[in-house]
Amino acid sequence: MTSRTAWLLRFSALLVAMILVTVALGWWGVPIVGAAFAALDGRDSTPMEASASAASGWALILLVTALAAGARPVGIIGNALGIPAIAIPLASIIFASLLAWSSAAVALFARTVVVGAPDTRAGPGATAR
């Protein structure tokens, strides 16, 4: 298995986890998964990966919702909140992304304190262990 494939698998698993935990627990699940991922994995890149997977997961859910409901509700909700329609999905994605990144960053630091320095291997370009 190449490192890129492994990264893709890991990212996909994380993305699925983000979706499932959002369905099961709601928005609280995102920082929980982000933190757990960073604490268990320990690599330096985990905050960015958690952030990207949370953003992608929520974007996918929103996309499915929009496909099912059409664009009209998005416009109505935007109107009701007094903001451009696109602002709400964007805010949702950014919110998830920041939640995952910050929780992973904090968890990674905690792991450093407890276990030692993080593994600096990055994403797809990193050498396999």
Partner 1 sequence: MSEALVAHDSAVGARPTVVRTRRRWVRPLVGLPLLAALVYVGTQTLGPAPALGPLLDPVHGIWASTRGAAFRESITTSIPGLRGEVTILYDRRGVPHIFAASEPDAYRALGYVVARDRLFQLELQARAAAGTLTEIAGAGALSLDRNMRALGLPRAAERKFAAVDTTDAGARAMDAYTAGVNAWIDALSDADLPIEYRMLGARPRNWRPIDGVHLLNRMGYTLAFSDDELRGIAARARVGRVAADALFPFDSPIQEPIQPTGRPSPRYALRRLPPPGTPEPDAGIVSALALAAAPWTAPDDGGFDDAVGSNNWAVAPARTAAGHALLAGDPHLELTLPSIWYEAHLVVPGVLDVYGVTIPGAPTIIIGFNRDVAWTFTNTQADVVDYYAETVDDPGAPTRYRLDGAWTPLELRVERYLAPDGGVVAVDTIRYTHRGPMRRAGRGWLSMRWTLFEPSRETSAFVDVTHARTVAEWMSAMATYVAPAQNMLVADRAGTIAIRSTGVYPIRPGDGRGDVVRDGSRSASDWTGWWTAPEYPQAVSPAQGFIASANQQPIDPAVNPRYLGADWFPPWRAMRINQLLRADSSVTVDAMRRYQTDPGSARADAFVPYFLEVAAKPPEGSVARAGRLLAQWDRRYTPDNQRAVLFENAMRELARAVWDELRDPGAPARGGDPRPSDIILLELLEDSASVWWDVRETPVVERRDAIIRASLERGLDTTIARHGDPDAGGWRWSGIQQARVRHLASIQGFNAAPVAVQGGPSTLSPSSGQGTFGASWRMVVELGPEVRGWGTYPGGQSGNPLSDRYSDRLGGWARGELDTLLVPRAPSGLAPEAIRARVTLVPR
Q: Does 129 bind partner 1 (CB under 8 A)?
A: yes
Rule CB under 8 A: which of 33-92 touch partner 1? Answer: 44, 47, 58, 61-62, 65, 68-69, 72-73, 76-82, 88, 91-92
Q: C-beta of 77: minimal distance to partner 1 in Å?
A: 6
Helix axes 46-69, 72-81, angle to 10 degrees: 110
- Residue 4 neighbours by CB under 8 Å, 6+ apart: 124, 125
List, in sequence order, every residue forming a beta bridge with 43; answer none if it has no partner.
119
Q: Does 6 bind partner 1 (CB under 8 A)?
A: no
Q: Does 1 bind partner 1 (CB under 8 A)?
A: no
- Residue 92 neighbours by CB under 8 Å, 6+ apart: 58, 62
Q: C-beta of 19: minimal distance to partner 1 in Å?
A: 9
